[in-house]
Amino acid sequence: MRRDRRAIGIGLMGLGVVGSGVARILQEKADVYARQIGYPLELRRVLVRDVAKPRACEIDPSLLTTDASALLADPEIELVIEVIGGEQPAYGYLREALRAGKFVVTGNKEVMAKHGGELLALAREHDVDLLYEASVGGGIPIIAPLKRDLLANDIVSVTAIINGTTNYILTAMRDGTVAFADALAEAQRLGYAEPDPTNDVEGIDAAYKLAILAALAFHIDARPEDVYREGITRLDPRDFAYARELGYAIKLLAISRKQDGCVQLRVHPAFVAEGELLANVDGVLNAVQIEGDLMSRVLFQGPGAGSLPTTSAVVADALDAAVSISNQVYWPHSFRREAGVALMPAGEITSRYYLRIGVADRPGVLATIAGALAEAGISIASLIQKEAGEDGGAEIVIMTHEARESSMRMALDAIAALPGVGGVAQIVRVHG
């Protein structure tokens, strides 16, 4: 039975970078959207922390509230858009909204990565939908393609650059002359990095997004804590100089790949060959490459953050929800779980590696390092020895063939104990 309505009431939670874009566009394009949906979309309440704060968009002050329960209890609000961010109180609000039978749109990667399965099940139970396109890749359409357009495929791999802050920093460091701290400071000055950059530079943000993508792509219960994670803080300008010399860019990759019935989940810096599309995704851009058994490879690339690109994804979800509300039909989507798919332990993952090793400049050291690698079953693809510095030490750069992570760990321990070796200064996986 179609309910008698004159508009679709929206409760907007958050009026910051994304929320103010959403409020602005819902108002500016109100007539277009009303024609599209058949009903006007009416912003009824907007939740903020501080109603007196100046806003980046024009907003009727009478809509602003600090009372979440009033918004959630409003029977005229059929659609809640959550762009507060963070786990709490957002998670609690989303549960409440779904339990009250409201459709929900969110851009919250942390909540979706940690609680997405439960929230989607709750939505289904209450005959509503939960949409979260903006939670990964900002303005890039990626959730909807995985839910719909790529459904006929068995997904083989998802390889992504999904953190704009780290991609900006790595791009700034690429010529091998800029230190990590300087690139980070510049990113902070430009507003691309938070004052506390931990979530970005340690790969935590990328791990949230990868967990969401992997749950959709491989129908597994992927949690952020399941993702093997290394950040970018240890990368040295010398690594970028060597990478360039060898024909690679360094990127923070989020990788999920199905292999031998298991799924790998990992976020770490990687050497990416310069000819590859992902090597050329620079600055704050994001990209997600998906490989499927039917369509081979597709690459989605675009602005991974920013007010209007993210608004594009949030409002598209809101329009989708509004169509479902007005027609009282929708396609409930949940994280489908497939039995028998296990997560691959980190030690079993295979990769090629770049190693930078500080050594004493004396005969025989090279042979002992090669011996330690051979002992662990790892063969060398190429080796460069750099001239001794003033301290009399030299640097060896080794590219290996494919090796198992556990074998590499064993070799690294053996190399660190060799006489004349100052330790393995750097190890980076080589993609592809």
Ligand X SMILES: NC(=O)c1ccc[n+]([C@@H]2O[C@H](COP(=O)([O-])OP(=O)(O)OC[C@H]3O[C@@H](n4cnc5c(N)ncnc54)[C@H](OP(=O)(O)O)[C@@H]3O)[C@@H](O)[C@H]2O)c1
Least distance (Å) from ligand X to the CB of residue 109? 6
89 binds ligand X (CB under 6 A): yes
Tokens linked to 27: 């108002």
Which residue among the candidates 209, 251, 258, 386 is catalytic per the annotation? 209
85 binds ligand X (CB under 6 A): yes
Tokens linked to 384: 């460069």
14 binds ligand X (CB under 6 A): yes
* Stretch of residues binding ligand X (CB under 6 A), selected from 14-22, 271-279, 282-290, 293-301: 14-22
- Residues 62, 324, 6: CA angle, nearest 5 degrees: 45
State the angle between helix axes of 30-37 and 307-327 in degrees (0 to 180), rounded to the nearest 10. 30
Least distance (Å) from ligand X to the CB of residue 253? 19
Q: How far is it, in rounded angstroms, from Cα 33 to Cα 26?
A: 8
Which residue is closest to ligand X by CB?
16
Catalytic annotation present for 102: no
Tokens linked to 260: 């031998």
* Stretch of residues binding ligand X (CB under 6 A), selected from 84-92, 233-241, 282-290, 376-384: 84-92
64 binds ligand X (CB under 6 A): no
231 binds ligand X (CB under 6 A): no
- The only residue of 23, 26, 48, 123 in contact with ligand X, by rule CB under 6 A: 48
Task: With CB under 6 A as the rule, give the number of residues binding ligand X.
Answer: 23
- The only residue of 50, 260, 387, 390 in contact with ligand X, by rule CB under 6 A: 50
Q: How far is it, in rounded angstroms, from Cα 37 to Cα 32?
A: 9
User: Which positions from 19 through 38 interact with ligand X, judged by CB under 6 A?
Assistant: 19
Q: How far is it, in rounded angstroms, from Cα 245 to Cα 335?
A: 43
Nearest to 8 by CA among 36, 51, 39: 39
72 binds ligand X (CB under 6 A): no
Q: How far is it, in rounded angstroms, from Cα 41 to Cα 61?
A: 18
* Stretch of residues binding ligand X (CB under 6 A), selected from 142-150, 177-185, 304-312, 384-392: 304-312
User: Which positions from 120 through 179 interact with ligand X, judged by CB under 6 A?
Assistant: 134, 138
* Stretch of residues binding ligand X (CB under 6 A), selected from 106-114, 193-201, 219-227, 290-298: 106-114
15 binds ligand X (CB under 6 A): yes
Least distance (Å) from ligand X to the CB of residue 131? 13
- The only residue of 11, 107, 116, 292 in contact with ligand X, by rule CB under 6 A: 107
49 binds ligand X (CB under 6 A): yes
Least distance (Å) from ligand X to the CB of residue 25? 14
Q: How far is it, in rounded angstroms, from Cα 158 to Cα 166?
A: 19
- The only residue of 38, 53, 87, 336 in contact with ligand X, by rule CB under 6 A: 53
In the complex, which residues of this chain contact ligand X (CB under 6 A)? 14-19, 47-50, 53, 83-85, 89, 107-109, 134, 138, 305-306, 310
Catalytic residues, by residue number, are 209
